[in-house]
Structures are given as C-alpha cells and as structure tokens.
Amino acid sequence: MIQCIIIEDQPPAQRVLKKYIADIGNLDLKATFTDALSAIDFIKSEKIDLIFLDIHLPKISGIEFLKVIKHKPSVILTTAFSDYALESYDFGVIDYLLKPFSFERFVQAVNKIPRLGIDFIAEKTLAEKNPLSDVVFIKSGYEHIKIEVEDIRFIRSDADYTEIHTKKQKYLSQETLRYWQENLDTRKFIRIHKSYILNITEIYKINANQVILEDKETLPIGRAFKEGFMQLIIKE
C-alpha cells in the first residue's frame, strides 16, 4: 500500500483528489493539508511515499516547499497554471497535472512512480498475501449468503454498493470495489475499469476496448487500465 498525502487549499480540488485516490486500490490517503508548512512535520514523522502538491498555496508556494524540504517523497504537482512545469522537473517531480484533470490522466501520473505498480505490476498486494478464502458471505438484508469465490464472474461498482455477478445470479454487497480489489487474489481478479473487477477465467476474447465473456456479455476496458491489463494477459 502506498502512503500518500494531499497538500491543497481548495476544497473542490481536495474532493476530486480524494475520490481519485479512493478509486485506486494501492493508494492510502493518510492526511490532507491546506498549506505546505503544516505538512512538513507530518512528513518527517510519518512514512509517506507520495505527495499530491498544489503550487499556489498560502504561506509558502508548492515550489518553495520543494526547495526547502529534504528527503522528500515522490511528488505529483496539481495546478491550474502551466507556468511552473519546466521549473518543477528540476526538483524531481514525477508529473505535472493541469486542473481540471481526468481520472485517466491521474492514473497515468501515478503509474509513473517506479515502485508503485498500481493494480497490475509486480509488487505483491494484500490480496496476494492474504486473499479471501474460497467462500465469502455477502450480507443481504438480514441474511448472509454464501458465495464460492471461483463462481464470481465480475464485480461492478454502482454508487454506494457493489454488484457481485456469479455464474448463477447477481448479489448486492455493501462492500466497496476497493475492498474487493484489496482482498481478492489479484492473480485472478483484475481491475479493468473504474467500475469493474473481472475474473480472468471468464474471458472469451478481447476486442478493442471491450472484454467479451464466455456467455458473450461485454464489459468495458477503461483507458487508464488497458495497458496494464493487456500486459498481464499477454504474460499469462
């Protein structure tokens, strides 16, 4: 899990970053700061791997922060201004995100960090170390329904719950897509889209930006996930 913080003084921008971070299973948001000075002591005392840093901040700017901090984590700049792009790379910034930026662009920036391997690359995830057992129980009303993990075809995120599609029927779960991504075996269950996790044994063929399942049902492949997904499938 990659420990990250946000340094951003605008609440709307904070909300976007928090949502994007939550949508990537390997990112763990530890804290949010509205100015860079408040973050310095936290960075010194906590193990932080990644900072999402705005440039125009109160007290000191993001660029000034990069000049004074020693042994800084990886940094992705988030700003509405392109003026500082060249200067920022002098400080080893991983990427420069111009607001407003899409989720796909956000994932591209995060994937530039060599040690991350978000979703697909070689680093072991919690799911590989301690995957769910062969059986899961999904709460449905006042009941808990037993489901064989191998029967799960795919999982779809839908607002405040997830749909578990099995070979027999569909179930609703209160767990988030992130929960399933972190706890299912990632050698078998793969994130292919912001809203989908797929059991790769269900793949019949891949066509452009779609996966066709054995029963001919189609699922979308998100642009941000396609490259890593294809690398894994070819490797398999």
- Once rounded to an integer, what is the mean pLDDT over residues 115-129? 41
Q: So what's the pLDDT on residue 226?
A: 85
Instruction: List pLDDT tens digits, range 10-64.
Output: 999 999 999 999 888 778 999 999 999 999 989 989 999 999 999 999 999 999 9
Instruction: List pLDDT tens digits, range 187-200.
Output: 788 889 999 999 99
Instruction: List pLDDT tens digits, range 164-174.
Output: 999 889 988 88
Q: So what's the pLDDT on residue 69?
A: 86
In this structure, are residues 2 and 28 in contact, taking their beta carbons and an 8 Å threshold?
yes
In this structure, are residues 24 and 18 in contact, taking their beta carbons and an 8 Å threshold?
no
Residue-averaged pLDDT of the chain: 84
Q: So what's the pLDDT on residue 166?
A: 94
Dist CA 50 CA 55 (whole Å): 16
- Given a cut of 70, whether residue 6 has pLDDT beyond it is yes
- Given a cut of 50, whether residue 225 has pLDDT beyond it is yes
- Once rounded to an integer, what is the mean pLDDT over residues 90-98? 85
- In the numeric block, the tokens 């700017």 are attached to 61
- Given a cut of 50, whether residue 148 has pLDDT beyond it is yes
- Once rounded to an integer, what is the mean pLDDT over residues 67-73? 84
The share of the chain scoring above pLDDT 70, in percent, equals 87
More confident residue, 232 or 74: 74
Q: So what's the pLDDT on residue 109?
A: 87
